[in-house]
Structure 1
């Protein structure tokens, strides 16, 4: 259902409330208002709200109140705009109803999410189903259309027709993160997508990890207007100087805020700096909340509170061109407000969204809508056969006793590189070697009926036994499975089909732990507490098999990513991010 969000039809009512002709529906009285436009705090003011909108701001005026007017006495507390998370990935672990209850409690009233995860496994229908799950909710959720840069040719790229349909939606603000390497490696396919979005007045989000100087300047010239990849102050400054909005991540995948926080001591304008989560895990969400945690950390690190609050309100809204609607407290804007005890303390006593009180003292008091996903979205694991251990054999060329093999070497939880290892051939096969920390890793196409499978080798994981598999593989429509035993790899893949998607850990022919994610194979239908419990159980079970990384699920899911260097994979083979080429396993 397409919603018109970019104008209000209540102008006359708002004018009448401001003029004292009509009565307000809701009044926030006895408050101190942070004006993010002027950096002032206005003492002893009231905010008058009609329907979803702010009608006026003034000192208390009884003529704007009626018998039916709801009054929230702020008791001298500070009112700031509702928080806006300008870059996140909501097609991740949890469903809309469960996630929003936590986001609302902390004061987030608007989010902008990527949609590439849904497109790679569900196509246009899957993206729309996902988008609709976050519409008609107590808060606003906007989207960006996926570019789809992938190691797999089957999921690389979005059709112009699909992109057009998404960009025409009012709840789609532009084109999602465009990996900078792709603009150089595939300009003939990427640049037209960017041009189309820009021609429709939409923005193009950037992703420039590793780019600098001339390459970064060239990338900015392609039309991107933001980047969420800086991990140092110098990288953030370089992007700010090029006119980009710099999004600083502090969430479930990256925590870069402290490293970049030194920028507060430089004499530079921070109006193009934004704080984002870039997604959160269930455990992170339960422990910390969402954007309120990031904002509080920025203040604790020494950022001026007004600057920090702007980074999650006005700055974000201006970047996306919707500051006429959200991001500040002024007439004609949505009535999205957080009432906090002090400018330094981001623990909302009240949260108001669209003119309704939705949270009180850290608790969501309105139930988010439960979305009914399509049958297709709930049946996305398209495996046409039962996998067996022989499906993960690596056959060597005939007549060879030893051969050089490309091995993916883990150098951190997320980053990999190519390692060439000379390996013995045993009865025509290349085997893993647990003692040398070399195990098998495979990608299985779960979308197309061919169920194409590629098996390679990976080192630096530490796994001694069993297997772990996930259907939530970044940038592809694959099940990614890694293991020391082919039998357990097969069991894990088959179990993912049984539970209609998720993460599975196996050893000794038994399932040790699993997290079902039947919604597109990437989101759980369980409660947040149960999702967090199962996530922890899966990670602990994987660590028990020897995996050395703190978050084995994330480490495995990113093995198909076209965004994180350097050597990744898909069902088609190994993928070199440096040149965008698919590589074979053997060097002959």
Structure 2
């Protein structure tokens, strides 16, 4: 609620949706839980306009009582349904959930549109679905579609913009500019029920963005509640925020040692998370393990790195360990306390010594992002819940760029490696993920063994 209150100091209007799944599933450990009781209290806040990202699809389809209670709190229920189709999609929609931003394929999107779902086409720093889904936008469908960014790296936000960066790409791919603009204005406003913002005219709120043209979509200025503000005025504005010291809880990490990070070989074949370029879904592979002195280790010759998720909220000592293919890591380790959605520590590395050092450095920082290769090469402290900072975006971008440079020195060529890493711990996006409780087969909704 502190964030909601602070948002009222900004020039633009912010609205929020209440978290539906904390934790996302029972297959991970979260710092707290949001129950139907908390959601009922949140529903009374005028700035909260619905229930967000109903991602525990197994709970919805199986009509679990707690999930049904949550769904009954709000009339507006936003979805999260990657790869969902057929009878499962029909069951999900029957629960009153009517939107999705996780669609990645044309056929998937077409089925969802035909079923009456509102489609949010995502183009973020890691997940890029615009080009694949663009043909779905027609004069018959555009009022049931909008553009969203989902997770966006602050450096991308600063250098390329927000929704205007998506507009720029959509028009470059051939979409009519006027239709494109509708997908970030009238279409989402209609979906959200913002009837006072459905156009420019008498009786409407005088909120407008002034663009230089319909190709670059560079912002010249804006009108907010009838008052014009040019670009320079917007850049020079100071936004005041309240102290949130209660969010500086630190890292409650259980016992961690090199020995705990080692995996004794119980067989020759292991399950491996394979990354998919420009997507947050993964594939499940079975590969032969590289075994040294009785332990399974990373194999950089096959782009196979160790992946670790360490519980950081309750001091339980829970430690999930697996392997990931596709990071391009040749040496060193990357670690972050941004790990959707329970935000435990997630770390990828080639050597246990670097993995241990990276995780322990995050504990010292109270949360953040680090790159280690024998020593700490770069870091970004995120002292507020291990997720946020009070830094100006320009300073934040400098530190992120330094992290990206250090990651590149370790062999990584991914455009947003830390954001990509954060999604490897989310057990509601197919197909294989890792939590502090172990490897998760997302489609089956259960923990599976590393060894096959």
TM-score by length of 2: 0.89
* Contact 2:290–2:299 (8 Å) recurs in 1: no
**Partner residue of 2:43 out of 167, 170, 176:** 167
1:194 aligns with 2:63: no
Is this contact kept in 2: 1:245–1:272, CA < 8 A?
A: yes
Instruction: Please tell me the root mean square deviation across aligned C-alpha atoms, in Å.
Output: 2.7
Q: Is the 8 A contact 1:492 1:504 kept in 2?
A: yes
Contact 2:61/2:88 (8 A) holds in 1: no
Shift of residue 275, structure 1, vs aligned partner: 1.7
- For residues 82-113 of structure 1, the C-alpha deviation after alignment (integer angstroms, 9 at most, x for no partner) is xxxxxxxxxxxxxxxxxxxxxxxxxxxxxxxx
Per the alignment, do residues 293 and 416 of structure 1 end up closer, same or farther by CA in structure 2, a change over 3 Å counting?
closer
Match of 1:346 in 2: 217
CA distance in 1, matches of 2:165, 2:104: 19
Q: 1:301-359 CA distances to partner (integer Å, 9 max, x unpaired)?
A: 44344333222122211211122x323223443321223455666334331223433x4
Residue aligned with 1:369, SS? coil
Q: Return the alpha-carbon distance in structure 1 between the equivalents of residues 198 and 238 of structure 2.
A: 22
Matched, 1:317 2:189: yes
Structure-to-structure mapping, 1:354-393, within 5 angstroms: 354-357=225-228, 359-361=229-231, 364-365=234-235, 367-383=237-253, 387-393=256-262
Q: Distance in 2 between matches of 1:258 and 1:416?
A: 19
Residue 204 of structure 1: aligned partner: 77
Give the whole-Å Cα distance in 2 for the aligned partners of 1:300 and 1:404. Answer: 46
* TM-score using structure 1 length: 0.70
Q: Which residue of 1 aligns with 2:102?
A: 229
**Partner residue of 2:153?**
281
1:520 aligns with 2:390: no
244-253 vs 489-498, greater mean Cα deviation = 244-253
User: Whole-Å Cα distance in 2 between the matches of residues 545 and 344 of structure 1?
Assistant: 37
- Work out the CA distance in 1 between the residues paired with 2:346 and 2:194: 39
**Alignment pair present for 1:498 and 2:364:** yes
Please list the CA deviations of residues 498-535 of structure 1 after superposition, one character each: whole Å capped at 9, or x if unmatched. Answer: 22211111112x10111222222112332222222222
8 Å CA contact retained: 1:185, 1:580: no
Q: Which of 477, 489, 494 does residue 343 from structure 2 map onto?
A: 477
Could you tell me whether the CA contact under 8 Å between 1:350 and 1:361 is conserved in 2? yes
State whether residues 340 and 347 of structure 1, in contact with CA within 8 Å, keep that contact through their aligned partners in structure 2. yes
Does structure 1 residue 394 correspond to structure 2 residue 263?
A: yes
For residue 550 of structure 1, what is the aligned residue in structure 2?
Answer: 415
1:121-132 aligned at under 5 Å gives the runs 128-132=1-5
**How is 1:100-139 mapped onto 2 (pairs within 5 angstroms)?**
128-139=1-12
SS at match of 1:564: coil
> Would the alpha carbon gap of residues 548 and 185 (structure 1) be closer, same or farther in structure 2, given more than 3 Å must change?
farther
Contact 1:151 1:569 in 2 (8 A): no
Maintained 8 Å contact 1:178/1:207? yes
Is the CA contact (8 Å cut-off) linking 1:139 and 1:354 kept in structure 2? no
Name which one, 1 or 2, has greater alpha-carbon Rg. Answer: 1
Between the aligned partners of 1:273 and 1:424, the Cα distance in structure 2 is 47
Q: CA deviation at 1:267?
A: 5.5
1:130–1:388 CA distance, 2 compared to 1 (3 A): farther
Q: Aligned to 2:126, which of 247, 253, 259? A: 253
Equivalent position SS for 1:457: strand
Q: Is the 8 A contact 1:340 1:348 kept in 2?
A: yes
Post-superposition shift, 1:300?
Answer: 4.2
The alpha-carbon deviation at position 427 of structure 1 amounts to: 5.5
Question: Structure 1 residues 381, 186: closer, same or farther in 2, change over 3 A?
Answer: farther
Instruction: For residue 449 of structure 1, report the CA deviation from its aligned partner.
Output: 2.3
Q: Within 2, Cα distance between the matches of 1:129 and 1:390? A: 41
Contact 2:126 2:416 in 1 (8 A): no
Residue 557 of structure 1 aligns to a residue whose secondary structure is helix
Deviates more, 1:360-369 or 1:160-169: 360-369
CA distance in 1, matches of 2:413, 2:235: 41
User: What is the CA-CA distance between 1:364 and the residue it aligns to?
Assistant: 1.2
Cα drift, residue 366 of structure 1:
5.6
Moved more, 429-438 or 308-317: 429-438
Contact 1:472 1:557 in 2 (8 A): yes
Give the C-alpha shift of residue 555 in structure 1.
2.1
Gaps of 5+ in 2: none
Is residue 2:334 matched to residue 1:463?
no
Q: 1:365 to 1:441 in 2, by over 3 A?
A: closer
Question: CA offset at residue 279 of structure 1?
Answer: 3.2
Structure 2 residue matching 1:504: 3-state secondary structure: strand
Per-residue deviation at 1:444? 0.8
Residue ranges of structure 1 left out of the alignment (5+ in a row): 1-127
